[in-house]
Structure formats: C-alpha cells, structure tokens
Amino acid sequence: MKIGQRTVGDVTILDLDGRLVAEDGFELLRQALNRLIGEGHTEILLNMDRVTYLDSAGIGLIACKYVTLNRHNGHLKLCNLHLRSFEVLNVTKLLTVFETFDSEADAVKSF
C-alpha cells in the first residue's frame, strides 16, 4: 500500500492506494494515523478510491482509530468507497457508524 497525505483547510486527507489487509497496508496506515493523531490532527479523511481490497484487519484498524479520534474530539470519515469495500462495511454494520461520502468535496464540507 502507498499512502499520500494532503491537507484541505483543517482536514488531513490520506489517499490510500492498494490493499488494506493484515499483511499489506495495515501497519503503514496504523503508523500514519498514530503519527497524525500524535501531532494533533483531529479531522481525518480516508480517501478509499484506490483501495483494491479491505479485510477484517483493515476494518478493525479503521474502527480503532475512529474511536481514538472521537476520544480526542476529532472525526475520521471515509470517501470514495468502491462496491466491495462498501459491501464489507455494510455487512459488518459499520456503515451505520462511519460517515461515508461519494466524493471528497462532500466529505471535506462535512467537517
């Protein structure tokens, strides 16, 4: 996995590219999110447009960091989910927890 980082206003956007699974992508994303939270970034958007596969480890990581940011009065949101990722989050009922958006612009406006 490759992770790009951008800032739009107060929102830090992580552009995820690749598989978000236990053996690939998990540790990179965990480190990136821990670093951002440690630096005081509390408004984070995960751009999932180029995520090719999402497994339970990836979902667990997103859920864990979602809770961490909530404790710091922050927000973690998702945008550009592909059908496969959408279905995985739907089956796990996490779509009722995470705020998801079809476009990055709509997501950024929501913060």
Q: Where are the domains of the chain?
A: 2-110
How many CB atoms sit inside 10 A of residue 84's CB?
Answer: 12
Q: What percent of the chain shows pLDDT beyond 90?
A: 76
Residue 84, pLDDT score: 85
Q: May I ask the CATH class of domain 2-110?
A: alpha beta
Length of the chain: 111
Give the whole-angstrom CA distance, residue 24 versus residue 20.
6
Residue 45, pLDDT score: 98
The helix/strand/coil state of 54 is strand
Each residue's pLDDT tens digit, 17-57: 999 988 888 999 999 999 999 999 999 999 999 999 888 89
Q: What percent of the chain shows pLDDT beyond 70?
A: 100
Alpha-helical segments (H) within 1-111:
26-38, 56-71, 83-91, 104-110
**Cα–Cα distance list, 57 to 6, 12, 99 (Å):** 25, 23, 19
